[in-house]
């Protein structure tokens, strides 16, 4: 048996040194296949179809937390009760004395009026949505805890994702069937929990695809390849998701013009559920296994879940994620409540603002990617750019809080803030993937998505609790933007540092990125770094004759070293890295 194993190793060693492989792409694939047999961290390179389907799920799910929960459900709840009493200023005048359309004033008052009974208290439709959202997060937390090991071990990842999507789809359908407010919390709770779990599998898939494109244990001199591919995937996905949100918000606006608003909004939720279900095709491409090992060798859910606290970069990224989501949602929700209830913008202007907020990222996010590539900026700096844009929006809004904002100014800042939201959404995912060690992508993604949803919930809660208090909301978001920048600067958040701590990057300098230590080194996460060049002849001799105590490690190291040497020129990043990028994405 041992002899057959050695013969197999010799055949692999021979295959990766075959002289007739002149095509660079074929040689890289041959080396990757040889290495994959001995390192479970090597993933198959994603196909174009897999990437497109991954984008499709972003289109079919991003709107849940950006449109369905903060816009559609509060509007549905507000339509159940009778029209609230006319305010002191009347239906034709806003609280700051501007002329207003009666329909818009009535819609705003229905949202903020406390006409929903909650025990002995009364709360508004916005607060009822916020309460349900919070309970949904409370339900999602224990579920993610229990399935944490299944997200990384075994073959249950597609089942988890498919079940979550199907559950969310089912609870989107009957939302308007019962004309009572108490029925909405179960629907919202289920949708929040299901979307958070499904998003965790989607984020995990991002990390797996990046590793499939770049391979494991990337040398530091080549980290720009991982940075480029990871941000490329995440930015374009964020742009695609924004497009889905634009469709839902535009459809919501159209249906609000109907006479029977409650029935019309129910149709919106049904359409949203169908759109979400269309993304279930993403399940077919989820990698079923991240790490090997039988059931007996799996860690407990508690140990596996808490392992994130042993990675400081990852834990700090969670704090950053919460601040980002809070800032984005608080500006969005409080801003549009102020536009409708106080500035009394014409409905078409509100629609244009929504569309610019969600559609402009289709142009700005690809441009941001080009800027990142030109400046060779890391994900932390690009995330700071998102905070700076949010800082500008909240700062200008707070400074001119007493003024009457012109429609053109609102549309311009809608573009700025929409870009800010997309940039932060994309690069916090990039940072998380870089910080996730092989075999822990699922549990880290679960933590990440829960904190991202928690940030959005907290931002919406502030806006729902203080409707019309735009100065307070903008002051809070200004401070959270500053806090986010401080965390980025002083929290030691770095894509390179996080990737190195997670085992995605190994030591190495020079053009080829080889390790120049005297002896072969074991990577902390199980990877093998390349041996020094002068040891190559001895290593080849050991492999050829089956000698050495670390026979398997020698074979794997030789495969990596041959890949390094064969692709010195193609994989160098001395000229903006285009050769390496085009090779990986071909």
For residue 430, what is the domain's CATH number?
Answer: 1.20.1250.20
Q: Looking at the structure, do residues 524 and 485 belong to the same domain, yes or no?
A: no
- Which has more confidence, 484 or 531? 484
Last residue of a domain, one of 455, 476, 501: 501
- Which has more confidence, 303 or 241? 241
Q: How confident is the model at residue 513 (pLDDT cuts 50, 70, 90)?
A: very low
Q: Looking at the structure, do residues 325 and 206 belong to the same domain, yes or no?
A: yes
Domain assignment present for residue 135? The answer is yes
Q: Looking at the structure, do residues 226 and 374 belong to the same domain, yes or no?
A: yes
pLDDT recorded at residue 170: 95
Which residue(s) pair with 218 in the sheet?
505
**Helix, strand, coil in percent for the chain, rounding step 5:** 70, 5, 25
**How far is residue 250 CA from its own chain's centroid?**
24
CA pair distance 386, 382, nearest whole angstrom = 7
The packing angle between helices 312-341 and 347-359, to 10°, is 160
Q: Looking at the structure, do residues 491 and 522 belong to the same domain, yes or no?
A: no
pLDDT in tens, 65-103: 999 999 999 999 998 877 777 887 788 888 888 888 888
From residue 294, alpha-carbon distances to 113, 153, 291 in Å are 56, 8, 10
Q: In the predicted model, is pLDDT for residue 217 greater than 80?
A: no
Last residue of a domain, one of 451, 469, 501: 501
**CB burial string 429-439: b at 16+ within 10 A, e below:** bbbbbbbbbbb
Q: In the predicted model, is pLDDT for residue 372 greater than 80?
A: yes
For the entire predicted model, the pTM comes to 0.80
**How far is residue 549 CA from its own chain's centroid?**
43
Last residue of a domain, one of 449, 469, 501: 501
| Residue 121 φ then ψ, to 5° | -105, 170
Q: Looking at the structure, do residues 133 and 259 belong to the same domain, yes or no?
A: yes
pLDDT recorded at residue 460: 97
Query: Cβ distance 155 to 289 under 8 Å?
Result: yes
Query: Cβ distance 33 to 575 under 8 Å?
Result: no
Q: In the predicted model, is pLDDT for residue 419 greater than 70?
A: yes
Query: Cβ distance 387 to 327 under 8 Å?
Result: yes
Q: Looking at the structure, do residues 203 and 271 belong to the same domain, yes or no?
A: yes
- Which has more confidence, 85 or 135? 135
CA pair distance 30, 25, nearest whole angstrom = 9
Q: Which letter does DSSP use for residue 153 in this model? A: B
Most confident listed range (13-17, 359-363, 545-549): 359-363
Q: Domain containing 552: what range?
A: 512-567
CA pair distance 521, 118, nearest whole angstrom = 62
Q: Looking at the structure, do residues 467 and 551 belong to the same domain, yes or no?
A: no
Domain assignment present for residue 143? The answer is yes
User: Worst-scoring range by mean pLDDT, 108-122, 214-228, 240-254, 412-426?
Assistant: 214-228
**Looking at residues 260-278, what average pLDDT do you find?**
93
pLDDT recorded at residue 42: 58
Query: Tokens representing 163?
Result: 């079940």
Q: Looking at the structure, do residues 528 and 488 belong to the same domain, yes or no?
A: no
Domain assignment present for residue 582? The answer is no
Q: Looking at the structure, do residues 518 and 419 belong to the same domain, yes or no?
A: no
Alpha helices, DSSP H, located in 436-550 = 441-465, 470-490, 495-502, 536-545
Q: Looking at the structure, do residues 441 and 355 belong to the same domain, yes or no?
A: yes
Q: Looking at the structure, do residues 476 and 518 belong to the same domain, yes or no?
A: no
Q: Looking at the structure, do residues 354 and 295 belong to the same domain, yes or no?
A: yes
Looking at the chain, the whole-number percentage of residues with pLDDT higher than 70 is 77
Domain assignment present for residue 474? The answer is yes
Domain assignment present for residue 451? The answer is yes
Domain assignment present for residue 417? The answer is yes
Question: How many structural domains comprise the chain?
Answer: 2
Q: In the predicted model, is pLDDT for residue 335 greater than 90?
A: yes
Domain assignment present for residue 227? The answer is yes
Domain assignment present for residue 93? The answer is no
H or E segment to which residue 269 belongs: helix 261-278
CA pair distance 214, 307, nearest whole angstrom = 25
Most confident listed range (277-281, 532-536, 541-545): 277-281
């Amino acid at each position: 048996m041992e002899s057959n194993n050695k013969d197999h190793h010799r055949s692999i060693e021979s295959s990766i040194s075959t002289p007739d492989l002149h095509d660079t792409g074929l040689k890289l694939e041959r080396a990757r296949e040889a290495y994959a047999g001995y390192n479970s961290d090597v993933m198959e390179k994603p196909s174009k179809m897999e990437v497109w389907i991954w984008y499709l799920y972003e289109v079919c799910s991003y709107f849940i937390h950006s449109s369905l929960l903060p816009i559609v459900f509060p509007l549905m709840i507000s339509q159940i009760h009778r029209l609230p009493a006319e305010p002191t200023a009347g239906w034709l005048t806003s609280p700051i004395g501007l002329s207003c359309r009666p329909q818009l004033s009535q819609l705003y008052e229905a949202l903020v009026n406390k006409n929903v009974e909650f025990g002995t208290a009364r709360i508004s439709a916005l607060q009822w949505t916020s309460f349900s959202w919070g309970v949904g997060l409370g339900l999602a937390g224990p579920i993610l805890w229990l399935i944490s090991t299944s997200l990384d071990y075994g073959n249950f990842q597609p089942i988890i994702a498919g079940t979550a999507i199907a559950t969310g789809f089912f609870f989107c359908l009957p939302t308007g069937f019962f004309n009572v407010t108490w029925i909405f919390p179960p629907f919202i709770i289920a949708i929040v929990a299901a979307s958070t779990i499904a998003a965790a599998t989607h984020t995990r898939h991002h990390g797996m695809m990046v590793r499939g494109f770049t391979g494991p244990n990337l040398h530091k001199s080549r980290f720009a390849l991982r940075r480029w591919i990871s941000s490329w995937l995440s930015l374009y996905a964020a742009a695609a998701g924004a497009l889905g949100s634009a469709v839902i918000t535009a459809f919501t606006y159209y249906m609000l013009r109907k006479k029977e608003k409650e029935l019309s909004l129910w149709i919106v939720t049904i359409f949203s559920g169908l759109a979400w279900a269309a993304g279930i095709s993403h399940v077919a491409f989820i990698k079923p296994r991240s790490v090997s090992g039988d059931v007996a060798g799996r860690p407990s859910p508690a140990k596996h879940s808490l392992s994130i606290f042993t990675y400081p970069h990852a834990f700090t990224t969670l704090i950053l994620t919460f601040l980002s989501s809070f800032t984005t949602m608080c500006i969005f929700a409080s801003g549009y409540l102020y536009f409708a209830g106080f500035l009394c913008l014409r409905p078409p202007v509100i629609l244009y603002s929504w569309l610019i907020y969600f559609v402009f990222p289709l142009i700005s996010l690809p441009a941001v990617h080009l800027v990142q590539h030109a400046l060779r900026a890391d994900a932390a700096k690009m995330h700071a750019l998102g905070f700076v844009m949010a800082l500008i929006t909240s700062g200008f809004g707070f400074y001119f809080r007493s003024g009457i904002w012109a429609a053109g100014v609102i549309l311009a800042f809608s573009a700025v803030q929409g870009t800010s939201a997309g940039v932060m959404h994309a690069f916090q995912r990039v940072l998380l993937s870089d910080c996730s060690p092989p075999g822990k992508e699922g549990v880290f993604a679960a933590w990440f998505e829960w904190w991202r949803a928690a940030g959005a919930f907290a931002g919406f809660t502030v806006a729902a609790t203080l409707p019309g208090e735009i100065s307070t909301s903008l002051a809070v978001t200004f401070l959270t933007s500053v806090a986010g920048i401080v965390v980025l600067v002083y929290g030691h958040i770095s894509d390179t540092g996080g990737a190195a701590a997670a085992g995605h990057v190994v030591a190495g300098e020079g053009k080829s990125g080889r390790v120049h230590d005297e002896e072969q080194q074991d990577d902390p996460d199980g990877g093998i770094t390349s041996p020094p060049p002068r040891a190559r002849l001895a290593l080849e001799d050991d492999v050829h004759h089956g000698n050495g105590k670390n026979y398997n490690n020698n074979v794997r190291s030789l495969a990596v070293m041959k890949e390094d040497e064969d692709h010195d020129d193609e994989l160098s990043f001395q000229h903006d890295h285009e050769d390496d990028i085009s090779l990986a994405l071909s």
